Chain A
Amino acid sequence: MDDQQRTLAGPWGIIILLGVELIIYVLFLALLLVPGGEILAAEALLLVAAVFYFRRNPALGARIQQLFAAHARIAWIGAVVLVLLIPFFIASSPYWLFTIIIAGLFLTACLGLNLQLGSSGMVNLASAAFYAVGAYAAGLLALGWGWPAWITLPAGAVMAGLFSALLFVPVLKTKGHYLALVTIAFQFMVTILLDNMEWTGGPQGLKNIPLFSVAGYSFNTAINLGFIKLPAYANFFYLMVLVVAVVGVASQRIYSSWVGVTLSTIRDDEIAAQTFGVQVNRWKLVIFSLGNCFIGLAGAFYSHLVGFISPPNFAFDKSLVMVSIVILGGMDNVFGVIVGSLLLIILPEKLRVVQDYRFLIYGLVLIIMLIFRPRGLVPFKARDFLDLAGPVRRKRAASASSTVSEGGA
């Protein structure tokens, strides 16, 4: 056992780890860059084969996990470098770059939704409505008062947070199916009103919203590096990565702090939580608003990315996509949300090859995945409550022996 762990800690471990990351990366890029549906079929088969393989050899999976835990920092650096290199590899296809940015926006929104849905068990099927609030707030502020994008972005988030107050009473008084219905009804009200109100531009929405620019540098300019020319979307891509990083780190911090534990207790048993002195109502409202802030942030970003927003962008089907991402990825799990948003945004685009049958297949895939993995592709693990002591315990453990600490990413 000791031998093994030392192997994992050594340079071979690092090489294997980077190899694993690289393979996933290449498969991902191949999925985007190889035209046609064969690659999708091939990779889907590969994925199924891999799942079965790991199920039959759980030791291998466990060891890879240990590997990542042992070299958490290197794993992160590797992953970040690879992500930052994406625009270079798909420079020839602004379309895929744009699609990845959209996936990133959904990821941002779904991290917020995950706080509500996954962490504290509040059903929210109106996420597209709050996405709309963020987008329209940013658009109206930019068009009406000429606010620059770096202010409207947080303003959109704050606005979505404030609008949450409209649902405060229902959130506290209803739950489960009833809360689901309240949020569905709210979602429909918002979309219909957006269509009918004059000051939001009615069905034509808002046009010519200024795209991002910082200190005179317009994000709509292609990056010419001499040896390679990156499409203009590369600017947005890096900004998106930054936003996702901030929101992702915030989510992870919340999850592993005592706030996260509080939320878990509310989700698992509200009455018990209350009897133990958890301020259920207060935390519900805080998290509901915070989640909507993240969603609004993504909406504001969308405004300044495309420059045009209109009501159909924020219809009920978008809420469903967001909920599907959280559930399919795995609730209460940041990594799961990442997997979910990549899958559910990129899969329909890849399915364009089957044309008419696209949504039929999408629906069937959704059902099949949920039946076989009802807890999501990356199911959340029971909390290791001892880990809550966090840094102290970890440091103690590290100094006591050179064994691998758990936790990490």
Chain B
Amino acid sequence: MTFLDILLQQSINGLMLGIMYSLVAVGFTLYFGVLDVINFAHGDFFMLGGFMALMLYAIAEAVGFAGNALVVVIYLFIGSMILTGVVGVVTERVCVKPVSKAPMLISLLVTLGLGIAIREAVRVLYPRGSDPKGFPTLMPQGSFNVGNIVIRYENLIIFGLGIAVIMAVNFLINRTKMGAAIRAVAQDGEAAMMMGVDLDRTIDITFLIGSAVAAVAGIMNGFYYGQTMFNIGAMMGVIGFSAAVIGGLGNIYGAIVGGILFGLLETFAAAALPYGAENKRVFAFLIVILFLVFRPTGILGEKIFERV
């Protein structure tokens, strides 16, 4: 492989990793925009989505429904989005909303506790939940070569789907009436309420969308890496949050930019720096800190003036 080949192959690796991060980052951006809450359990919803799909797949296999791969994939996505979405709304009603008015640290801690609870519940309740779980191979496995670079059909599908999901979320938020309500709440909850927006319902919908997107990300992650495990959510949450901030919290396209930037940073740090593989996250987090200090609104964020 020539230098250029390696560069291109690593860029593809970075983009794929980045799109996974972006999908998690979208959720953070959404929650922060609407509720001013950093939902640290979001990474665990991501994991939960993957496990829901595994469960649905096991059920489908048990009843002998395993025909067309495309049908099964659609069934897994929709089923898991609904289930994870419902869990998201229920947990939001029970434990996130009651503390959304409390100081920021309280909501942060509640969502962290929620993350622990989800993680441990999956581990204890799923059969042999502490082991890594293989994901069924349902995506087309072929590949084609451009020079020495391997491009897999699977990668193209996952990348395309990831961008499509994020654009769909953007459409929902910026082009529909429901989205207008969400944006209104994001700007000023009380004012939105006076204009006739049902606050509770809007918050419910936000969590439904956020959890469903996390589920999509979890399943795609499962398909791409071929496995999932109950404890992958914690790190994913931290990175997703970082990516959302780099891109600009509150901006949906910012999530894409931030996620992909973080993915590329990690990949190239691992590939190019001496001792890069073991220290790539040190490098990535250092960049995060620099961003926060020198451009806290992120790449696509707007300048915010502090109200006195």
Contact = CB atoms under 8 A, between A and B. Distances in A.
Interface in B50-106: 95, 98-99, 102, 104-106
B233 interface: no
Given A181-B288, A370-B99, A192 B113 contact: no
A173 B109 contact: no
Interface in A351-376: 356-357, 359-360, 362-364, 366-367, 370-371, 374-375
A363 B238 contact: no
A181 B281 contact: no
B289 A367 contact: no
Interface string B102-116: 101110111011111
Given A186-B285, A359-B120, A371-B98, A181 B106 contact: no
Given A182-B292, A188-B281, A327 B116 contact: no
B157 interface: no
B117 A189 contact: no
Interface residues of B, number: 41
A189 B282 contact: yes
A261 interface: no
A31 interface: no
Interface in B271-302: 275, 278-279, 281-282, 285-286, 288-289, 292-293, 296
A123 B103 CA distance: 11
Contacts of A371: 95, 98-99, 110
Contacts, number: 119
B308 interface: yes
B306 A271 contact: yes
A151 to B, nearest CB: 31
A360 B116 CA distance: 7
B105 A188 contact: no
Tell me the dominant secondary structure on chain B's binding face. helix
Nearest to B294: A173
A374 B106 contact: yes
A198 B108 CA distance: 35
A65 B124 CA distance: 44
B159 interface: no
B245 interface: yes
B293 A185 contact: no
B22 interface: no
A363 B282 contact: no
Q: Which among B32, B110, B115 has the greatest number of chain A C-beta atoms within 10 A?
A: B110
A370 B242 contact: no
Nearest to A188: B285
Contacts of B95: 367, 371
B117 A180 contact: no
A174 B288 contact: no
A271 B306 CA distance: 10
Contacts of A196: 275, 278-279, 282
A324 B296 contact: no
Given A177-B32, A196-B278, A320-B112, A185 B242 contact: yes
B217 interface: no
A176 B104 contact: yes
A103 to B, nearest CB: 19
A319 to B, nearest CB: 11
A177 B117 contact: no
Contact of A360 (B99, B117, B285): B117
A193 B102 contact: no
A215 interface: no
Contacts of A170: 289, 292-293
B120 A123 contact: no
B45 interface: no
Contact of A370 (B109, B116, B119, B120): B109
B248 to A, nearest CB: 12
16 contacts: A177-B104, A178-B245, A180-B108, A181-B245, A182-B288, A182-B293, A185-B285, A186-B289, A195-B278, A323-B109, A360-B117, A363-B116, A366-B112, A371-B95, A371-B99, A374-B106
Interface of A: 117, 123, 169-170, 173-174, 176-178, 180-182, 184-186, 188-189, 192-193, 195-196, 271, 316, 320, 323-324, 327-328, 356-357, 359-360, 362-364, 366-367, 370-371, 374-375
